[in-house]
């Protein structure tokens, strides 16, 4: 321990999770995406090379010289939240935390040797205390899971891809790894959202924070139930064309869409797994070495199978039909691309997928941010600390 002893942490009426393993809150898709990433051809070589070349010391000096370090003398309320989050998740070494002048609401946890947390002034000014507590817990969850290493590499490779875009083969190779990293990154956000809930232990505050990221500081104009209804409409609406557009829209992003994150977190907060953690029954860190890789694969496979089975998305429903050997796949495929509601077509009866109207939405909202709580905006090349 450094100067951040747990004894001086403010007293909170929140449950603590001594020795908790990140396996307790990690989303199954997070683990499986990371395994798939590590199996990507050339990733190990790139990872080892970049581990020694990344300008991490430069980043640390940049934040030290041009941001405000959270401490007992500066941003005291954030310092209390950080220490409290580390106390609850039993993270012994409290990561350095910096506040960066930037009106864009954003936060991130990066670093190869040791994680550092950076939050922007835009985020600090947008959220109230309990909402901010969930965000700090989110970033501490990234640190406990060891996410900061891969996030730092993604930050660097995204910048590099922009610089070598004129080299055809070089850019293709880098973008293959960047795409795989982004897929994992999106899943890791779902894990960190869960960690934020374990720290804040207030699902309403977590929902409010996500709504503010999407719609700004206008809570009197927003409603959690209506916000979650958007996620449901997004998942089940439209036809196969919309399903394809959803995939294309999310590929350039480092984060799941905000309504989707809110729905995923709300769903997890109502599960038996979450309640067991709150009751003190969870995997321990000292048991990680004995954890079964096979069980992790099985859990991930079960998760994806359940996702396909229960999804309201037209494409996922079609995949489920194919897996289940449903008849008249040609008719189903045609109807779900056209949004037909049903009826006799060519002498056969095929039900329309999800009652779609066939009106495909063509807007592509991309997000080039590498932070954790950044509001969606047009894709842009990230800068260190952004």
Among all residues, which ones are annotated catalytic? 139
CA distance 192 to 371: 12
Residue tagged 């894990």 (tokens): 191
Question: At how many degrees (to 10) do helices 28-38 and 168-200 cross?
Answer: 150
The residue among 350, 280, 321, 262 whose CA lies nearest residue 15 is 280
Rounded to 5 degrees, φ, ψ at 377 are -150, 170
Structure tokens belonging to residue 45: 């070589």
Q: How far is CA 326 from the centre of its chain?
A: 34
φ and ψ at residue 81, rounded to 5 degrees? -65, -40
Tell me how far apart the alpha carbons of residues 336 and 329 are, in angstroms, rounded to a whole number: 10
Burial of residue 124, with CB atoms counted within 10 A of its CB: 0-12 exposed, 13-18 middle, 19 or more buried: middle
Residue with tokens 């290493």: 149
Assign 120 to helix, strand or coil. strand
């Amino acid at each position: 321990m450094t100067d951040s002893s747990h004894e001086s942490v403010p007293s909170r009426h929140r449950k603590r999770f001594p020795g908790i393993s990140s396996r307790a809150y990690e989303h199954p898709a997070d683990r499986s995406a990371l395994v798939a990433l590590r199996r990507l051809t050339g990733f190990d070589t790139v990872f080892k090379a970049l581990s020694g070349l990344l300008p991490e010391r430069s980043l640390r000096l940049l934040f030290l010289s041009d941001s405000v370090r959270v401490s007992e003398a500066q941003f005291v309320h954030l310092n209390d939240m950080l220490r409290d989050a580390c106390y609850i998740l039993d993270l012994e070494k409290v990561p350095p935390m910096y506040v960066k002048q930037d009106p864009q609401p954003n936060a991130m946890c990066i670093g190869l040797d040791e994680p550092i947390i950076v939050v922007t002034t835009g985020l600090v000014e947008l959220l109230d205390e309990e909402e901010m507590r969930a965000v700090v817990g989110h970033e501490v969850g990234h640190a406990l899971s060891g996410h900061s290493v891969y996030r730092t590499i993604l930050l660097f490779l995204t910048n590099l891809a922009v610089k070598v875009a004129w080299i055809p083969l070089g850019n293709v190779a880098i973008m293959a790894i960047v795409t795989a990293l982004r897929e994992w990154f999106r899943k890791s956000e779902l894990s960190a959202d869960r960690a934020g809930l374990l720290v804040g232990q207030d699902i309403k505050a977590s929902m409010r924070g996500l709504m503010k990221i999407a719609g700004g500081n206008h809570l009197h104009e927003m409603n959690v139930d209506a916000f979650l209804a958007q996620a449901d409409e997004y998942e089940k609406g439209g036809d196969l064309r919309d399903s394809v557009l959803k995939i294309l829209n999310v590929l350039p992003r480092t984060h799941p869409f905000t309504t989707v994150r809110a729905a995923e977190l709300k769903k997890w907060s109502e599960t038996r797994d979450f309640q067991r953690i709150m009751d003190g029954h969870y995997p321990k860190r000292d048991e990680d070495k004995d954890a079964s890789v096979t069980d992790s694969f099985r859990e991930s496979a079960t998760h994806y199978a359940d996702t396909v089975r229960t999804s309201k998305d037209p494409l996922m429903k079609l995949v489920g039909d194919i897996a289940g050997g449903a008849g008249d796949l040609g008719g189903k495929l045609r109807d779900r691309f056209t949004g037909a509601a049903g009826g006799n077509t060519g002498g056969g009866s095929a039900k329309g997928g999800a009652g779609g109207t066939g009106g495909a939405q063509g807007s592509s909202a991309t997000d080039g941010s590498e932070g954790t709580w950044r509001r969606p905006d047009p894709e842009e090349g990230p800068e260190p600390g952004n």
